[in-house]
Amino acid sequence: MSGSLSSLKVLDFTTLLPGPFGAMILADWGAEVVRIESPTRPDMVRMLPPMDDGVSACHGFLNRSKKSLALDLKRPDAVAVVKRLVKDYDIVVEQFRPGVMDRLGVGYEVLKEANPGLIFCSITGYGQTGPYKQRAGHDLNYLSIAGVAGYNGRKDGGPAPVNVQIADVAGGSYHSVMAILAAVIHRQQTGEGQHLDISMTDAAFSMHALTAPPALVGGVEPRLEETQLNGGSFYDCYETSDGRWLSVAGLEPQFFAQFCQAIGHPEWSSKGLALNPDIQGPLKQDIAAVMKTRTLAEWVEVFSPLDACVEPVLSFSEACEHPHIVERELLVDVPTAGGGSQRQLASPVKFSATPPRYDFTGVQLGAHTDEVLLGAGFSEEEIAGLRKSGATM
């Protein structure tokens, strides 16, 4: 099986997390992805420990199945290579600040002259326009500007960083994939390519799915521990007697009733406490006191046969061994360049006809330079000339 996107060819100019993760999704689903990376300014992810056979494990994951082409875009010969390559590619993904690709001579307007059907996806923190377009930032900054961080955390501790990169991955990576595939369908119908402007801040702002409507229509400002889903209700995590934690999320009456019955307080469900905002504080204190009477294992045994929306809070290592994760095959062994394999997260999407592919882990910088250029029609003499000029390594 070659994958759902086997007809697409992608040039990936991105570094760090958002762009590489998005391009990896395209590669998992069958697209041919060539990663273009500077030999003089390597991606910082390459330096993140631990190393596996000389390659960062994070790099090995984020860049699996991608061919690596080393090009120094500050060299005119390298720019000429990109202009020649792009004629045979469908998609360009880049993650520089606005205007950088233009200054390097490989911006959208230039490249679409060589390929009018080109889909050119730009991923940035704040977008191609607006007062913050040139401002530096990271995931936490984007979530802060977007109002997401403002009600994430505890009242007694203030806003807190989120443990996974929501703006980077849910905002930059997944939104870029969605936009690219929408643009592919548009091109199939019209033959027209286009420039996609993906702002991680904009994407994060769009995720206020259940808090924006009350705020915009009713003036209900979401605050720390004041919404139903951020600690303002019994929907929360509770400590057990052995210092572990249990998530309790049965907001619906039928789930809450089962929960109350299981913990020995069926009378709580009959009073409609689950939906009463005025009683949430005392209710949480009562639940916390009950949860403290048993160990996590004991509570898991109580709730395992019930449909009460109660689950243990697992560590990452424990999650890897959970029967659901195992049965769904969410970990995969991917071949490495050294002949071994590396354990990685698998694609979470199940295709009945075109399963994801995992060709190899991310490779050393420039590992496929000759292969890519020869495949694009460059002669060995031309490649040697590129090396001599410093355009490649």
Residues 6+ apart with CB under 8 A from 227: 151, 210, 211, 233
CA distance 323 to 115: 48
pLDDT in tens, 233-242: 999 999 999 9
The CATH fold of domain 9-206+327-389: Rossmann fold (3.40.50)
Does residue 369 carry a pLDDT above 60? yes
3-state helix/strand/coil string of 34-103: EEEECCCCCCHHHHCCCEECCEEHHHHHHCCCEEEEECCCCCHHHHHHHHHHHHHCCEEEECCCCCHHHH
Q: Give me the mean pLDDT over the 289-296 stretch.
A: 98
Check if the beta carbon of residue 140 is closer than 8 Å to that of residue 212. no
Backbone angles phi, psi at 225, to 5 degrees: 55, 35
The Cα-based distances of 144 to 119, 231, 290 in angstroms read: 30, 19, 36
Residues 6+ apart with CB under 8 A from 289: none
CA distance 21 to 391: 26
pLDDT in tens, 129-171: 999 999 999 999 999 999 999 999 999 999 999 999 999 999 9
Residues 6+ apart with CB under 8 A from 1: 353, 354, 355, 357
Look up residue 349 and give its DSSP letter: -
Does residue 1 carry a pLDDT above 60? no
Per-residue pLDDT, 66: 98
The band of 279, judged by pLDDT with boundaries at 50, 70 and 90, is confident
- Model pTM? 0.95
Q: How many CB atoms sit inside 10 A of residue 263's CB? A: 21
pLDDT in tens, 90-133: 999 999 999 999 999 999 999 999 999 999 999 999 999 999 99
Q: Where are the domains of the chain?
A: 9-206+327-389, 245-312
The Cα-based distances of 151 to 159, 222, 350 in angstroms read: 7, 6, 34
The band of 53, judged by pLDDT with boundaries at 50, 70 and 90, is confident
Does residue 271 carry a pLDDT above 90? no
Side-by-side strand order, sheet with 245-248? 236-239, 245-248, 310-312
Dihedral angle, C-alpha 253, 150, 19, 132, nearest 10 °: 150
Does residue 209 carry a pLDDT above 60? yes
Mean pLDDT is lowest, of 122-126, 278-282, 291-295, for: 278-282
Nearest by Cα to 9 from 108, 72, 78, 87 = 87
Q: How many CB atoms sit inside 10 A of residue 27's CB? A: 28
Q: How many CB atoms sit inside 10 A of residue 19's CB? A: 27
Look up residue 319 and give its DSSP letter: H
Known catalytic residues are: 138, 168
The band of 381, judged by pLDDT with boundaries at 50, 70 and 90, is very high
The band of 319, judged by pLDDT with boundaries at 50, 70 and 90, is very high
CA distance 147 to 386: 48
